[in-house]
């Protein structure tokens, strides 16, 4: 089963002027800020299942309502899986947590401390982690750099999730984007924490970093802890899979070691839902 564990759906109205202005830093070109459901659905053709996120960042001004994601997922329940987003700066975030998981049927949680301006071990997040651990709800966390000037890098270090993993050992977590550029930290963390994984989303267009990230995972024996993700609309699952299968082109005749085919194909075919405990 091929699963894209990292996709977005948003409208232009969800973006603040600040986010729109600075988003082009991500890839040196304007970001697609208007995505129709039809465009998202078409992009997901190459995969069997796809996880799609809500997003709540009051700090920077990117708010994609969980209800909109729920309505979209309900149209295609055989393929789409909804992950809600909670922002501890919102006064009703704990009530929202009860609603999205106990009433609306969301399967997981998306967090983005660097966008949302909180430390991963913020005391406000403890009841959220405890709830997710108790109910078997996986958490995908954007731990890695990003483009907005006011997004604090100090909250983005993947190693900070070790404290969460130690306090909530049965909580399944995914480090988005392999925690780039702190890939080494992400790789050693997923090796030592059994319920922590990393996805490879939005990495392939930095080919040298991408090759080295996968080589680190290969050398540390953590290839089985990597999950397929695209970060649509920044990339597509089709392009992500193609680039993964072409990752060794960078070695040329250099004599550099190659990423093994079994790591590449295993990553593409990995049953992400089983890894994350999603029924």
Tens of pLDDT, residue by residue over 74-104, are: 999 999 999 999 999 999 999 999 999 999 9
Tokens 């997922």 sit on residue: 73
Residue 118 in this model has a pLDDT that exceeds 70: yes
Closest C-alpha to 59, from 109, 118, 129: 118
Sign of CA pseudo-dihedral 139, 241, 25, 12:
negative
User: Which domain does 77 fall in, by range?
Assistant: 3-276
Q: What is the rounded CA–CA span in Å between residue 41 and residue 81? A: 12
Q: Please count the structural domains in the chain.
A: 1
Say if residue 85 is preceded by a cis peptide, omega within 30 of 0: no
SS3 70: helix
The CATH number of whichever domain residue 107 belongs to comes to 3.20.20.140
End-to-end Cα distance, the chain? 14
In the three-class reduction of DSSP (H, G, I as helix; E, B as strand; rest coil), residue 49 is classed as strand
Is residue 28 very low, low, confident or very high in pLDDT (cuts 50, 70, 90)? confident
CA distance 106 to 36: 21
- At residue 175, the pLDDT reads 98
């Amino acid at each position: 089963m091929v699963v894209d564990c990292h996709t977005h759906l948003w409208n232009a109205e969800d973006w603040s002027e600040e986010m729109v202005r600075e988003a082009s830093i991500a890839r040196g070109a304007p970001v697609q800020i208007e995505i129709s459901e039809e465009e998202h659905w078409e992009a997901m053709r190459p995969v069997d299942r796809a996880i799609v996120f809500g997003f709540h960042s009051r700090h920077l001004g990117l708010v994609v309502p969980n209800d909109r994601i729920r309505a979209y997922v309900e149209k295609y329940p055989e393929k789409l899986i909804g992950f809600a987003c909670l922002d501890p700066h919102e006064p009703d975030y704990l009530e929202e947590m009860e609603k999205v998981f106990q009433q609306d049927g969301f399967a997981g949680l998306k967090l983005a401390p660097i966008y949302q301006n909180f430390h991963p071990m913020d005391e406000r997040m403890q009841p959220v982690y405890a709830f997710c651990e108790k109910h078997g709800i996986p958490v995908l966390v954007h731990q890695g750099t990003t483009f907005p000037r006011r997004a604090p890098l100090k909250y983005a270090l993947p190693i900070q999730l070790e404290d969460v993993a130690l306090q909530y050992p049965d909580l399944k977590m995914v480090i988005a984007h392999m925690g780039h550029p702190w890939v080494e930290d992400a790789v050693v963390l997923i090796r030592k924490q059994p319920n922590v994984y990393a996805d490879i989303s939005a990495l392939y267009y930095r080919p040298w970093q991408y090759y080295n990230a996968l080589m680190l995972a290969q050398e540390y024996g953590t290839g089985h802890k990597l999950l397929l993700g695209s970060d649509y609309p920044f990339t597509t699952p089709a392009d992500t899979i193609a680039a993964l299968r072409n990752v060794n082109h960078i070695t040329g005749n250099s004599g550099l070691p190659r990423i093994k085919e079994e790591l590449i194909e295993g990553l593409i075919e990995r049953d992400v839902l089983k890894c994350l405990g999603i029924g």
